[in-house]
Structure 1
Amino acid sequence: MKNQWKHRIVCLALGTATLVFGGCRSTVRVTDSAESGTQQLLMNSSADAVICSFDFTLLADRRCYLDTTGLGKANSGYLTYRLREQMGSFGVRLSETRDDAEVIVEAGLAAYGTDSRRDTVGITDVDRLPDLYLCVDDVQYGVAKLSLFAREKETGLVIWHSGAMRADSYQDIRKVLGSGPYYTGTIQHSGTRVGH
Protein backbone atom coordinates (compact mmCIF):
# COMPACT_ATOMS: atom_id res chain seq x y z
CA MET A 1 0.00 0.00 0.00
CA LYS A 2 2.85 2.35 0.95
CA ASN A 3 4.63 1.60 -2.37
CA GLN A 4 1.47 2.39 -4.36
CA TRP A 5 1.28 5.87 -2.80
CA LYS A 6 4.95 6.50 -3.54
CA HIS A 7 4.41 5.37 -7.14
CA ARG A 8 1.39 7.68 -7.50
CA ILE A 9 3.26 10.66 -6.03
CA VAL A 10 6.21 10.09 -8.38
CA CYS A 11 3.88 9.84 -11.42
CA LEU A 12 2.02 12.99 -10.33
CA ALA A 13 5.30 14.88 -9.87
CA LEU A 14 6.58 13.77 -13.29
CA GLY A 15 3.28 14.71 -14.96
CA THR A 16 3.32 18.15 -13.33
CA ALA A 17 6.97 18.71 -14.34
CA THR A 18 6.13 17.75 -17.93
CA LEU A 19 3.28 20.26 -18.05
CA VAL A 20 5.33 23.06 -16.43
CA PHE A 21 8.66 22.60 -18.22
CA GLY A 22 7.53 21.01 -21.49
CA GLY A 23 7.77 23.07 -24.65
CA CYS A 24 5.55 23.26 -27.66
CA ARG A 25 6.38 23.30 -31.32
CA SER A 26 4.60 24.77 -34.32
CA THR A 27 5.45 23.77 -37.87
CA VAL A 28 4.34 24.97 -41.28
CA ARG A 29 3.87 22.28 -43.91
CA VAL A 30 5.83 22.93 -47.10
CA THR A 31 4.04 21.91 -50.27
CA ASP A 32 5.49 20.02 -53.19
CA SER A 33 4.35 22.56 -55.79
CA ALA A 34 6.95 24.40 -57.85
CA GLU A 35 6.31 27.54 -55.80
CA SER A 36 4.89 27.57 -52.28
CA GLY A 37 1.76 29.53 -51.46
CA THR A 38 3.89 32.07 -49.58
CA GLN A 39 6.12 32.63 -52.63
CA GLN A 40 3.09 33.15 -54.84
CA LEU A 41 1.53 35.59 -52.37
CA LEU A 42 4.78 37.56 -52.11
CA MET A 43 5.23 37.77 -55.89
CA ASN A 44 1.61 38.66 -56.60
CA SER A 45 1.51 41.21 -53.79
CA SER A 46 4.47 42.96 -55.41
CA ALA A 47 2.86 42.72 -58.85
CA ASP A 48 -0.40 44.20 -57.52
CA ALA A 49 1.47 47.16 -56.04
CA VAL A 50 3.36 47.85 -59.28
CA ILE A 51 0.34 47.50 -61.55
CA CYS A 52 -1.79 49.78 -59.35
CA SER A 53 0.80 52.53 -59.89
CA PHE A 54 0.26 52.60 -63.69
CA ASP A 55 -1.87 55.52 -64.91
CA PHE A 56 -3.53 54.79 -68.26
CA THR A 57 -5.47 58.08 -68.44
CA LEU A 58 -3.79 59.10 -71.73
CA LEU A 59 -5.05 55.89 -73.35
CA ALA A 60 -8.67 56.25 -72.24
CA ASP A 61 -11.19 55.58 -75.04
CA ARG A 62 -8.42 54.23 -77.31
CA ARG A 63 -8.71 50.68 -78.63
CA CYS A 64 -5.59 48.98 -77.22
CA TYR A 65 -4.06 45.55 -77.53
CA LEU A 66 -1.81 44.35 -74.68
CA ASP A 67 1.32 42.62 -76.00
CA THR A 68 2.63 40.41 -73.17
CA THR A 69 5.58 38.88 -75.05
CA GLY A 70 7.98 40.87 -72.84
CA LEU A 71 6.61 39.19 -69.71
CA GLY A 72 8.53 36.01 -70.59
CA LYS A 73 7.39 32.95 -68.63
CA ALA A 74 4.85 35.07 -66.73
CA ASN A 75 3.05 36.15 -69.94
CA SER A 76 -0.16 34.33 -69.11
CA GLY A 77 -2.28 34.17 -66.01
CA TYR A 78 -2.37 36.64 -63.17
CA LEU A 79 -0.01 39.37 -64.45
CA THR A 80 -1.79 39.63 -67.78
CA TYR A 81 -5.18 39.60 -66.08
CA ARG A 82 -4.19 42.38 -63.64
CA LEU A 83 -2.70 44.56 -66.39
CA ARG A 84 -5.86 44.26 -68.50
CA GLU A 85 -7.99 44.96 -65.45
CA GLN A 86 -6.01 48.12 -64.64
CA MET A 87 -6.23 49.31 -68.24
CA GLY A 88 -9.98 48.74 -68.27
CA SER A 89 -10.44 50.65 -65.02
CA PHE A 90 -9.00 53.75 -66.75
CA GLY A 91 -11.47 53.49 -69.63
CA VAL A 92 -9.13 51.84 -72.12
CA ARG A 93 -11.05 49.83 -74.73
CA LEU A 94 -9.40 46.42 -74.73
CA SER A 95 -8.84 44.68 -78.05
CA GLU A 96 -8.61 40.91 -78.26
CA THR A 97 -6.39 40.96 -81.38
CA ARG A 98 -3.69 43.20 -82.86
CA ASP A 99 -5.72 43.65 -86.03
CA ASP A 100 -8.61 45.34 -84.22
CA ALA A 101 -6.38 47.69 -82.18
CA GLU A 102 -5.24 51.21 -82.93
CA VAL A 103 -2.67 51.22 -80.11
CA ILE A 104 -0.27 48.44 -79.03
CA VAL A 105 0.72 48.43 -75.36
CA GLU A 106 3.88 46.43 -74.71
CA ALA A 107 4.71 45.09 -71.26
CA GLY A 108 8.22 44.20 -70.11
CA LEU A 109 9.10 42.31 -66.95
CA ALA A 110 12.54 42.98 -65.47
CA ALA A 111 12.19 41.09 -62.17
CA TYR A 112 9.57 38.78 -60.68
CA GLY A 113 10.63 36.43 -57.90
CA THR A 114 11.55 35.87 -54.28
CA ASP A 115 14.63 35.96 -52.06
CA SER A 116 15.10 34.87 -48.46
CA ARG A 117 17.40 35.53 -45.53
CA ARG A 118 17.90 33.71 -42.21
CA ASP A 119 19.50 35.18 -39.10
CA THR A 120 20.17 33.04 -36.03
CA VAL A 121 21.44 33.85 -32.56
CA GLY A 122 22.70 30.96 -30.46
CA ILE A 123 25.17 28.09 -30.49
CA THR A 124 25.60 26.60 -33.95
CA ASP A 125 28.20 24.58 -35.83
CA VAL A 126 30.08 23.52 -32.69
CA ASP A 127 31.45 19.96 -32.64
CA ARG A 128 29.75 17.59 -30.21
CA LEU A 129 27.14 20.16 -29.19
CA PRO A 130 23.58 20.32 -30.48
CA ASP A 131 22.46 23.53 -32.14
CA LEU A 132 20.80 25.83 -29.60
CA TYR A 133 18.93 28.80 -31.05
CA LEU A 134 17.92 31.74 -28.88
CA CYS A 135 16.36 33.59 -31.81
CA VAL A 136 15.64 32.64 -35.41
CA ASP A 137 14.54 35.29 -37.91
CA ASP A 138 13.46 34.12 -41.39
CA VAL A 139 12.58 36.84 -43.90
CA GLN A 140 11.26 36.22 -47.42
CA TYR A 141 11.05 39.00 -50.00
CA GLY A 142 9.03 39.28 -53.20
CA VAL A 143 9.90 41.71 -55.98
CA ALA A 144 8.24 42.79 -59.20
CA LYS A 145 9.63 45.32 -61.68
CA LEU A 146 7.59 46.20 -64.78
CA SER A 147 7.71 48.73 -67.58
CA LEU A 148 5.09 49.56 -70.22
CA PHE A 149 4.91 51.69 -73.33
CA ALA A 150 2.24 52.34 -75.94
CA ARG A 151 2.67 52.98 -79.66
CA GLU A 152 0.27 53.69 -82.46
CA LYS A 153 -0.05 50.60 -84.62
CA GLU A 154 -0.03 52.41 -87.96
CA THR A 155 2.74 54.95 -87.37
CA GLY A 156 4.82 53.22 -84.68
CA LEU A 157 4.91 56.50 -82.77
CA VAL A 158 5.36 56.00 -79.00
CA ILE A 159 2.57 57.94 -77.32
CA TRP A 160 2.92 56.82 -73.69
CA HIS A 161 5.58 55.33 -71.42
CA SER A 162 5.18 54.24 -67.81
CA GLY A 163 8.82 54.19 -66.81
CA ALA A 164 10.28 51.28 -64.88
CA MET A 165 8.21 50.68 -61.75
CA ARG A 166 9.13 48.37 -58.88
CA ALA A 167 7.45 47.13 -55.71
CA ASP A 168 8.57 44.78 -52.95
CA SER A 169 6.74 42.65 -50.41
CA TYR A 170 8.02 40.70 -47.43
CA GLN A 171 7.17 38.25 -44.69
CA ASP A 172 9.11 37.99 -41.42
CA ILE A 173 8.84 34.80 -39.36
CA ARG A 174 10.47 35.03 -35.93
CA LYS A 175 10.98 32.50 -33.14
CA VAL A 176 12.39 33.63 -29.78
CA LEU A 177 13.48 31.24 -27.01
CA GLY A 178 11.35 28.47 -28.45
CA SER A 179 8.18 30.56 -28.70
CA GLY A 180 6.52 31.47 -31.95
CA PRO A 181 6.45 31.58 -34.87
CA TYR A 182 5.44 35.24 -35.00
CA TYR A 183 4.47 36.60 -38.43
CA THR A 184 4.75 40.17 -39.70
CA GLY A 185 4.91 41.63 -43.19
CA THR A 186 2.92 42.79 -46.18
CA ILE A 187 1.13 39.45 -46.62
CA GLN A 188 -0.87 37.42 -44.13
CA HIS A 189 0.44 33.88 -43.83
CA SER A 190 -2.04 31.01 -43.53
CA GLY A 191 -0.28 29.92 -40.32
CA THR A 192 -1.64 33.03 -38.56
CA ARG A 193 -5.23 32.22 -39.56
CA VAL A 194 -5.45 28.65 -38.23
CA GLY A 195 -8.62 28.27 -36.20
CA HIS A 196 -10.20 31.52 -37.46
Structure 2
Amino acid sequence: MSTDATTSRRLWTAFLPLSLLLLGPTAGCGSTRMTHTSRTGTEQLLLTTAWDQALNQVDFRPLIGVPVFLETSYLEAVDKGWVISSLRQAMLAQGVLLREKKEDAQWIVEARTGAYGTDDYELLVGLPQMNVPVTIPGVPAGAIPEVPLIKKSDQHAVTKLALFAYDRASGQLVWNSGTVLGTANDKNVHIGGLGPIQSGSIRGGTEFVGVKIPMTEGQAKQAPHERAGGAVPFTEPAIRVPAEVLDRDDFLPR
Protein backbone atom coordinates (compact mmCIF):
# COMPACT_ATOMS: atom_id res chain seq x y z
CA MET A 1 0.00 0.00 0.00
CA SER A 2 1.40 3.43 -0.89
CA THR A 3 2.34 6.00 1.74
CA ASP A 4 -0.30 8.46 0.39
CA ALA A 5 -3.11 5.91 0.70
CA THR A 6 -2.06 5.01 4.24
CA THR A 7 -1.95 8.67 5.24
CA SER A 8 -5.36 9.32 3.67
CA ARG A 9 -6.95 6.41 5.50
CA ARG A 10 -5.50 7.57 8.81
CA LEU A 11 -6.88 11.07 8.25
CA TRP A 12 -10.41 9.71 7.53
CA THR A 13 -10.22 7.45 10.58
CA ALA A 14 -9.41 10.43 12.78
CA PHE A 15 -11.88 12.83 11.08
CA LEU A 16 -14.97 10.59 11.08
CA PRO A 17 -15.51 10.45 14.89
CA LEU A 18 -14.93 14.20 15.10
CA SER A 19 -17.52 14.83 12.32
CA LEU A 20 -20.13 12.70 14.05
CA LEU A 21 -19.47 14.51 17.31
CA LEU A 22 -19.94 17.94 15.68
CA LEU A 23 -22.98 17.01 13.58
CA GLY A 24 -24.69 15.04 16.32
CA PRO A 25 -26.25 18.03 18.13
CA THR A 26 -27.60 19.46 14.84
CA ALA A 27 -29.21 16.26 13.63
CA GLY A 28 -32.63 15.10 14.77
CA CYS A 29 -36.29 15.16 13.92
CA GLY A 30 -39.11 17.57 14.62
CA SER A 31 -42.73 17.05 15.57
CA THR A 32 -45.85 19.23 15.64
CA ARG A 33 -48.34 18.98 18.46
CA MET A 34 -51.89 19.06 17.15
CA THR A 35 -55.02 19.53 19.25
CA HIS A 36 -58.71 19.47 18.44
CA THR A 37 -61.59 21.57 19.71
CA SER A 38 -64.67 19.91 21.16
CA ARG A 39 -66.65 21.04 18.09
CA THR A 40 -65.36 20.77 14.55
CA GLY A 41 -64.83 23.88 12.49
CA THR A 42 -67.12 22.41 9.82
CA GLU A 43 -70.02 22.10 12.28
CA GLN A 44 -69.57 25.67 13.48
CA LEU A 45 -69.36 26.97 9.91
CA LEU A 46 -72.47 25.03 8.90
CA LEU A 47 -74.56 26.41 11.75
CA THR A 48 -73.46 30.02 11.49
CA THR A 49 -73.90 29.96 7.69
CA ALA A 50 -77.44 28.59 8.06
CA TRP A 51 -78.20 31.27 10.66
CA ASP A 52 -76.88 34.06 8.46
CA GLN A 53 -79.02 32.79 5.59
CA ALA A 54 -82.16 32.87 7.74
CA LEU A 55 -81.35 36.28 9.21
CA ASN A 56 -80.86 37.85 5.79
CA GLN A 57 -84.51 37.10 4.98
CA VAL A 58 -85.80 39.33 7.78
CA ASP A 59 -86.95 42.84 6.87
CA PHE A 60 -86.33 45.19 9.81
CA ARG A 61 -87.30 48.34 7.89
CA PRO A 62 -90.74 48.64 9.54
CA LEU A 63 -88.84 49.33 12.78
CA ILE A 64 -86.94 52.32 11.39
CA GLY A 65 -87.30 55.49 13.44
CA VAL A 66 -88.54 53.82 16.63
CA PRO A 67 -86.27 53.26 19.66
CA VAL A 68 -86.09 49.48 20.03
CA PHE A 69 -84.82 47.10 22.70
CA LEU A 70 -83.75 43.62 21.54
CA GLU A 71 -84.89 40.87 23.92
CA THR A 72 -82.64 37.81 23.49
CA SER A 73 -83.50 35.68 26.55
CA TYR A 74 -85.48 33.25 24.36
CA LEU A 75 -82.63 32.58 21.94
CA GLU A 76 -81.21 29.07 22.36
CA ALA A 77 -78.06 28.34 20.36
CA VAL A 78 -74.57 27.04 21.03
CA ASP A 79 -73.18 29.99 19.05
CA LYS A 80 -75.22 32.52 21.03
CA GLY A 81 -72.56 35.22 20.84
CA TRP A 82 -72.57 35.09 17.03
CA VAL A 83 -76.37 34.86 16.91
CA ILE A 84 -76.99 37.93 19.09
CA SER A 85 -74.23 40.05 17.56
CA SER A 86 -75.37 39.28 14.00
CA LEU A 87 -78.95 40.18 14.95
CA ARG A 88 -77.82 43.55 16.28
CA GLN A 89 -75.70 44.18 13.19
CA ALA A 90 -78.57 43.34 10.83
CA MET A 91 -80.93 45.68 12.68
CA LEU A 92 -78.45 48.53 12.79
CA ALA A 93 -77.59 48.06 9.11
CA GLN A 94 -81.27 48.53 8.21
CA GLY A 95 -81.60 51.72 10.26
CA VAL A 96 -83.11 50.42 13.51
CA LEU A 97 -82.46 52.57 16.61
CA LEU A 98 -81.26 50.08 19.24
CA ARG A 99 -81.41 50.89 22.94
CA GLU A 100 -79.46 49.11 25.69
CA LYS A 101 -82.23 49.41 28.32
CA LYS A 102 -85.92 48.53 28.04
CA GLU A 103 -87.02 51.74 29.70
CA ASP A 104 -85.30 53.75 26.95
CA ALA A 105 -87.16 51.91 24.17
CA GLN A 106 -90.62 52.40 22.72
CA TRP A 107 -90.88 48.95 21.15
CA ILE A 108 -89.55 45.61 22.39
CA VAL A 109 -88.32 43.13 19.75
CA GLU A 110 -88.36 39.55 20.95
CA ALA A 111 -86.29 36.96 19.08
CA ARG A 112 -86.48 33.17 19.36
CA THR A 113 -85.00 30.09 17.72
CA GLY A 114 -87.08 27.06 16.82
CA ALA A 115 -84.17 24.99 15.50
CA TYR A 116 -80.41 25.24 15.56
CA GLY A 117 -78.62 21.98 14.84
CA THR A 118 -77.18 19.50 12.37
CA ASP A 119 -78.12 16.14 10.86
CA ASP A 120 -75.84 13.56 9.26
CA TYR A 121 -76.54 11.21 6.36
CA GLU A 122 -74.29 8.41 5.12
CA LEU A 123 -74.42 6.12 2.09
CA LEU A 124 -72.14 3.11 1.54
CA VAL A 125 -71.91 1.00 -1.61
CA GLY A 126 -69.64 -1.91 -0.79
CA LEU A 127 -68.98 -4.16 2.18
CA PRO A 128 -69.59 -2.71 5.64
CA GLN A 129 -67.35 -3.54 8.56
CA MET A 130 -68.30 -6.91 10.05
CA ASN A 131 -67.34 -8.82 13.17
CA VAL A 132 -66.53 -12.51 12.69
CA PRO A 133 -67.92 -14.56 15.60
CA VAL A 134 -65.88 -17.30 17.24
CA THR A 135 -68.55 -19.90 16.44
CA ILE A 136 -67.29 -20.47 12.88
CA PRO A 137 -64.81 -23.39 12.96
CA GLY A 138 -61.41 -22.66 11.46
CA VAL A 139 -62.06 -18.94 11.13
CA PRO A 140 -60.38 -16.74 13.73
CA ALA A 141 -62.51 -14.18 15.50
CA GLY A 142 -62.02 -10.54 14.63
CA ALA A 143 -63.29 -7.70 12.49
CA ILE A 144 -63.38 -7.49 8.69
CA PRO A 145 -62.64 -3.89 7.72
CA GLU A 146 -64.99 -1.81 5.62
CA VAL A 147 -64.45 -2.15 1.86
CA PRO A 148 -66.22 0.79 0.22
CA LEU A 149 -66.72 1.18 -3.53
CA ILE A 150 -68.57 4.46 -3.06
CA LYS A 151 -69.01 6.18 0.27
CA LYS A 152 -70.87 9.43 0.77
CA SER A 153 -71.49 11.52 3.88
CA ASP A 154 -73.70 14.60 3.98
CA GLN A 155 -73.98 16.92 6.97
CA HIS A 156 -76.86 19.39 7.06
CA ALA A 157 -77.46 22.38 9.32
CA VAL A 158 -80.86 23.98 9.81
CA THR A 159 -81.90 27.09 11.74
CA LYS A 160 -85.37 28.46 12.38
CA LEU A 161 -85.79 32.09 13.42
CA ALA A 162 -88.79 34.22 14.34
CA LEU A 163 -89.10 37.76 15.73
CA PHE A 164 -91.93 40.04 16.74
CA ALA A 165 -92.23 43.51 18.25
CA TYR A 166 -94.72 44.99 20.68
CA ASP A 167 -95.27 48.42 22.14
CA ARG A 168 -93.72 48.62 25.62
CA ALA A 169 -96.45 50.86 27.04
CA SER A 170 -99.59 49.30 25.53
CA GLY A 171 -98.39 45.73 24.88
CA GLN A 172 -99.85 45.90 21.36
CA LEU A 173 -98.25 43.74 18.66
CA VAL A 174 -96.76 46.07 16.06
CA TRP A 175 -94.56 43.83 13.88
CA ASN A 176 -93.94 40.19 13.06
CA SER A 177 -91.13 38.79 10.93
CA GLY A 178 -92.85 35.48 10.30
CA THR A 179 -90.85 32.24 10.52
CA VAL A 180 -87.71 32.00 8.40
CA LEU A 181 -85.49 28.97 7.78
CA GLY A 182 -81.81 28.77 6.89
CA THR A 183 -79.87 25.73 5.73
CA ALA A 184 -76.30 24.77 4.87
CA ASN A 185 -74.61 21.51 3.97
CA ASP A 186 -71.26 19.80 3.52
CA LYS A 187 -70.75 16.73 1.31
CA ASN A 188 -67.85 14.26 1.25
CA VAL A 189 -67.55 11.48 -1.36
CA HIS A 190 -65.00 8.64 -1.56
CA ILE A 191 -64.78 6.52 -4.73
CA GLY A 192 -62.77 3.40 -4.07
CA GLY A 193 -59.69 4.60 -2.30
CA LEU A 194 -59.97 8.09 -3.78
CA GLY A 195 -61.23 10.99 -1.74
CA PRO A 196 -62.57 12.94 -0.12
CA ILE A 197 -64.24 14.90 -2.90
CA GLN A 198 -65.87 17.75 -0.98
CA SER A 199 -68.70 20.06 -1.94
CA GLY A 200 -71.65 21.83 -0.37
CA SER A 201 -72.96 25.29 0.32
CA ILE A 202 -70.18 26.17 2.80
CA ARG A 203 -67.40 25.44 0.29
CA GLY A 204 -68.42 27.52 -2.72
CA GLY A 205 -67.44 24.80 -5.17
CA THR A 206 -65.98 21.31 -5.31
CA GLU A 207 -62.64 20.39 -3.72
CA PHE A 208 -60.43 17.34 -3.88
CA VAL A 209 -58.13 17.04 -0.84
CA GLY A 210 -58.30 20.80 -0.43
CA VAL A 211 -57.74 21.67 -4.11
CA LYS A 212 -60.51 23.50 -5.97
CA ILE A 213 -61.97 21.70 -8.97
CA PRO A 214 -62.95 24.03 -11.86
CA MET A 215 -66.66 24.88 -11.91
CA THR A 216 -69.00 23.02 -14.19
CA GLU A 217 -71.28 24.92 -16.57
CA GLY A 218 -74.20 24.48 -14.17
CA GLN A 219 -72.23 25.92 -11.26
CA ALA A 220 -71.07 28.85 -13.36
CA LYS A 221 -74.72 29.82 -14.03
CA GLN A 222 -75.49 29.95 -10.30
CA ALA A 223 -75.71 33.26 -8.53
CA PRO A 224 -72.60 34.20 -6.53
CA HIS A 225 -74.35 33.75 -3.16
CA GLU A 226 -75.42 30.23 -4.19
CA ARG A 227 -71.88 29.21 -5.16
CA ALA A 228 -70.42 30.68 -1.99
CA GLY A 229 -73.10 29.34 0.32
CA GLY A 230 -74.04 32.86 1.38
CA ALA A 231 -77.34 34.24 2.50
CA VAL A 232 -80.25 34.21 0.11
CA PRO A 233 -81.48 37.48 -1.36
CA PHE A 234 -83.83 39.49 0.83
CA THR A 235 -87.52 38.61 0.56
CA GLU A 236 -90.40 40.69 1.83
CA PRO A 237 -92.22 39.27 4.89
CA ALA A 238 -95.98 38.94 4.76
CA ILE A 239 -96.80 40.94 7.91
CA ARG A 240 -96.28 44.71 8.02
CA VAL A 241 -96.82 47.44 10.61
CA PRO A 242 -100.57 47.99 11.16
CA ALA A 243 -101.93 51.19 9.63
CA GLU A 244 -103.36 52.35 12.97
CA VAL A 245 -99.85 52.23 14.44
CA LEU A 246 -98.40 54.25 11.58
CA ASP A 247 -101.07 56.93 12.16
CA ARG A 248 -100.31 57.26 15.84
CA ASP A 249 -98.74 60.52 17.02
CA ASP A 250 -96.05 58.71 19.03
CA PHE A 251 -94.88 56.51 16.14
CA LEU A 252 -91.73 58.55 15.65
CA PRO A 253 -89.43 59.28 18.59
CA ARG A 254 -89.63 62.75 20.12
TM-score (norm 1): 0.77
Structure 2's unaligned 5+ residue stretches are: 1-33, 133-142, 213-254
Q: Distance in 2 between matches of 1:173 and 1:75?
A: 24
Name the one with the larger strand percent.
Answer: 1
In structure 1, what is the equivalent of residue 48 of structure 2? 44
**One-letter code aligned to 1:102:** Q
Question: For the Cα contact (< 8 Å) 2:129–2:147, is it kept in 1?
Answer: no
Question: For the Cα contact (< 8 Å) 1:148–1:162, is it kept in 2?
Answer: yes
Q: Distance in 1 between matches of 2:93 and 2:169?
A: 25
Matches within 5 A, 1:1-196: 32-74=36-78, 76-126=80-130, 127=132, 129-188=144-203, 192=210
Structure 1's unaligned 5+ residue stretches are: 1-29
> What do you get for the CA RMSD once the two structures are aligned?
2.2
Q: Deviations over 1:83-133 (max 9, x none)?
A: 111111111001111111111000011100111111111112444743211
Question: For the Cα contact (< 8 Å) 2:151–2:190, is it kept in 1?
Answer: yes
In structure 2, what is the equivalent of residue 20 of structure 1? none
Q: Distance in 1 between matches of 2:152 and 2:84?
A: 34
**One-letter code aligned to 2:106:** E
Q: Distance in 2 between matches of 1:54 and 1:119?
A: 36
TM-score (norm 2): 0.60
The Cα of 1:38 is off from its aligned counterpart by 0.5
The Cα of 1:174 is off from its aligned counterpart by 0.5
Q: Which has the larger radius of gyration?
A: 2
The 3 A distance-change label for structure 1 pair 135 and 141 is same
The list of structure 1 runs, each at least 4 consecutive aligned residues, that deviate by more than 4 angstroms after superposition, is: none
The 3 A distance-change label for structure 1 pair 144 and 31 is farther
Question: For the Cα contact (< 8 Å) 1:62–1:103, is it kept in 2?
Answer: yes
SS in 2 for 1:77: helix
Q: Distance in 1 between matches of 2:52 and 2:35?
A: 24
**One-letter code aligned to 1:144:** T
Q: Distance in 2 between matches of 1:31 and 1:173?
A: 23
Deviates more, 1:101-110 or 1:129-138: 129-138
